């Protein structure tokens, strides 16, 4: 037994967990260690099988480092080769929390599954799918999240006017070998929160309210979620991202907790996250709207970053834009949106490794094919720099120019001599270019500035923007 575990075993709560632990995977502690393989760190004690290819392990501090930072964390150890960044992801912050939460989760799993698969799913199919009818928000709607045909999350919820929030009657997730740790929880939480936002209520999410469905003429009544509380798996995920769910009311995620959770489940690079924190504090933009815009991809990450960084009008844009009668505001917002859309388009082109045109490959793989390009927005110049660009390939839309790993673009919809001079005079060391729509005329004196012409014309971009703004206007309520 590692020395750290011996100390841990002295704690009173540990006694509750210990019999359950090792017996679930091996007859003895030593045999449990052998399951991890030779590459595993020596201070990991496996306590439970997460799936066929990974174990939940307690991090035991070496005796000489009793206050080691990771001591007591529960992490996931994969027994097959995976990318190092996915190895030893935190599952929970403590063994007792982990064991008790898994206990609660597993105790409710069978009833929850039966509820989803035998009752709510068929009822929804009978009442809505078969009739090609769209349900209102107060109808219990089942949700299923799958990755490569493996289901990782199931839930069912409905907007409940009695407390003006979302009532959840089913919510369960699982870990599977090919999906990152807690990704099922994160994705299902994101979907749940987006639904709560779209319904327009207070964002409170309750797990203890009555609900009923009718299936094949039979009425089934549920008295809340099977666990009658915020599901243990969701609380466990919350602990790993620093959000204490159900702290104020064990059966509910309060609006304040929902806000924290929404921010936690929405993926953002560090720079964008810092900008979001800033605009929340100074420009009155609600974090729920930002998270919803990102998760529903109304605005993608580099686009939103550009909007927030380069324009004082981001709040109005995220709410659907100025009225058409205020042409000056509308003009300014349109120009910023067009620049953001073009920058987003270029980012996807730079970051994609889709081998559609690759004659040497027989199979076209479209999943997980990003190159890892990052971006930085210069908020004063309203320029965006892409880093980590493939230097062996030509820069897209640059007529063969290439051989660079960093590209700075100035997205605009007019190509003027003044702009060309400003770009030429820019002291950035990166490859610089103006990014314009396909149909923008070029002045004769471009001063050698490279022009990237995105494939869409101005009118096409405007249609795309109109769609996004309309979605922003009517997505809530």
Partner 1 sequence: MSAEQALIVGLPDTAANRALIADINSAAARSRKAEPGDRLDIARFEALTTRLEQLAVNDAQAPRIEVSMPRPSAEALLFGFDQRDWSPSWPADVRAAAAGAVAAGRLPVLVVLPLTEGSPARRGDLGPAAAPATRWDSDGVRGWKAVEARFRAQLTQAVTAAADDRVPISPSGIQNSVVTETLREFTAQVPGCARVDVPVEYRDGSRSAYAFPLRSLPLKGQLAAASLELRFALLSIRHTEMDAVVDGAWLRNAEVSRPRPAGQTDDLVYDISRVQLAELCRGESHVRLYLYQTGLETAVVGFYKALADHLLRYPRSVSVQPMYYEAPRGRSRGPVGEQSALFRKGTPWTV
Interface stretch with partner 1, choices 83-91, 282-290, 350-358, 365-373 (CB under 8 A): 282-290
Tokens of 299: 């605005």
Q: Contact letters (x/-) for partner 1, 143-162, by CB under 8 A?
A: ----------------x-xx
Judge whether 55 and 102 are in contact, CB under 8 Å.
Answer: no
Tokens of 109: 């799993």
8-state DSSP, 442: P
Q: CB-based contacts of 107: which residues, under 8 Å, 6+ apart?
A: none
Give the one residue of 106, 391, 424, 474 binding partner 1; rule: CB under 8 A.
474
Q: Is 7 helix (H, G, I), strand (E, B) or coil?
A: helix
* Four-point Cα dihedral 325, 329, 332, 334, nearest 10: -50
Enumerate residues 359-378 that contact partner 1 by CB under 8 A. none
User: CB count, 10 Å around CB of 268?
Assistant: 18
User: CB count, 10 Å around CB of 42?
Assistant: 10
Task: State residue 20 phi and psi, 5-degree precision.
Answer: -70, -40
Give the one residue of 114, 283, 364, 371 binding partner 1; rule: CB under 8 A.
283
- Considering the rule CB under 8 A, would residue 470 count as an interface residue with partner 1? yes
Interface stretch with partner 1, choices 59-67, 248-256, 349-357, 397-405 (CB under 8 A): 248-256
Whole-number minimum distance, CB 77 to partner 1, in Å? 37
Judge whether 37 and 79 are in contact, CB under 8 Å.
Answer: yes
Tokens of 360: 């040497």
Interface stretch with partner 1, choices 94-102, 227-235, 359-367, 405-413 (CB under 8 A): 405-413
Give the one residue of 83, 221, 270, 328 binding partner 1; rule: CB under 8 A.
328
**Closer CB to partner 1, residue 104 or residue 333?**
333
Whole-number minimum distance, CB 331 to partner 1, in Å? 4
**Closer CB to partner 1, residue 331 or residue 370?**
331
- Considering the rule CB under 8 A, would residue 459 count as an interface residue with partner 1? yes
- Considering the rule CB under 8 A, would residue 315 count as an interface residue with partner 1? yes
Q: CB-based contacts of 50: which residues, under 8 Å, 6+ apart?
A: 56, 76, 91, 175
Give the one residue of 29, 280, 430, 451 binding partner 1; rule: CB under 8 A.
280
Tokens of 402: 């290439």
**Closer CB to partner 1, residue 284 or residue 448?**
284
Which bin fits 156, alpha (ψ -120 to 50), beta or left (φ > 0)? beta
**Closer CB to partner 1, residue 29 or residue 422?**
422
- Considering the rule CB under 8 A, would residue 323 count as an interface residue with partner 1? yes
Give the one residue of 25, 150, 458, 464 binding partner 1; rule: CB under 8 A.
458
Give the one residue of 186, 412, 432, 468 binding partner 1; rule: CB under 8 A.
412
**CA distance linking residue 294 with residue 42, whole number of Å:** 40
């Amino acid at each position: 037994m590692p020395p750290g575990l011996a100390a841990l075993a002295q704690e009173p709560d540990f006694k509750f967990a210990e019999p359950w632990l090792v017996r679930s995977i091996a007859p003895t502690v030593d045999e449990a260690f052998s399951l991890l393989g030779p590459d595993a760190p020596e201070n990991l004690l496996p306590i439970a099988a997460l799936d066929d290819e990974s174990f939940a392990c307690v991090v035991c501090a070496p005796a000489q480092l009793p206050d080691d930072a990771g001591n007591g964390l529960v992490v996931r150890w994969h027994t097959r080769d995976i990318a190092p960044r996915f190895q030893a992801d935190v599952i929970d912050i403590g063994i007792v929390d982990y064991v008790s939460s898994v206990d609660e989760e597993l105790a409710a799993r069978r009833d929850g599954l039966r509820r989803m698969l035998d009752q709510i799913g068929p009822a929804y199919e009978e009442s809505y799918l078969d009739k090609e009818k769209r349900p209102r928000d107060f109808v219990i709607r089942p949700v299923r999240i799958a990755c490569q045909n493996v289901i990782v999350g199931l839930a069912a919820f409905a907007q409940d006017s009695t407390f003006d929030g979302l009532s959840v009657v089913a919510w369960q997730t699982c870990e599977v070998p090919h999906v990152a740790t807690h990704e099922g929880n994160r994705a299902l939480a994101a979907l749940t929160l987006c639904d709560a936002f779209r319904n327009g209520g207070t964002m409170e999410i309750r797990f203890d309210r009555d609900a009923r469905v009718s299936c094949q003429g039979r009425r089934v009544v549920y008295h809340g979620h099977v666990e009658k509380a915020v599901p243990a798996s969701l609380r466990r995920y919350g602990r790993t991202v620093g959000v204490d769910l159900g702290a104020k009311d064990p059966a509910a995620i309060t609006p304040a907790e929902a806000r924290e959770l929404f921010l936690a489940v929405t993926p953002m690079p560090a720079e964008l996250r810092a900008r979001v924190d800033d605009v929340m504090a100074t420009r009155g933009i609600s974090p729920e709207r930002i998270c919803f815009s990102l998760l529903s991809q109304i605005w993608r990450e580099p686009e939103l970053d550009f909007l927030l960084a380069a324009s004082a009008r981001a709040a109005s844009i995220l709410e659907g834009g100025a009225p058409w009668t205020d042409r000056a505001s509308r003009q300014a917002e349109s120009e910023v949106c067009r620049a953001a859309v073009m920058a987003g388009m270029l980012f996807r082109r730079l970051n994609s490794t889709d081998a559609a045109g690759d004659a040497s490959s027989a199979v076209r793989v479209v999943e997980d094919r990003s190159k890892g390009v990052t971006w930085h927005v210069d908020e004063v110049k309203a320029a965006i720099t892409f880093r980590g660009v493939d230097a062996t390939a030509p820069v897209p839309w640059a007529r063969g120019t290439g051989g660079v790993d960093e590209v700075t673009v100035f997205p605009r919809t007019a190509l003027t001599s003044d702009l060309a001079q400003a770009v030429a005079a820019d002291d950035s060391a990166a490859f610089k270019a103006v990014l314009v729509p396909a149909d923008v005329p070029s002045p004769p004196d471009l001063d050698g500035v490279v022009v990237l012409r995105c494939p869409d014309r101005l009118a096409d971009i405007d249609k795309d923007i109109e769609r996004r703004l309309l979605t922003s206007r009517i997505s809530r309520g």
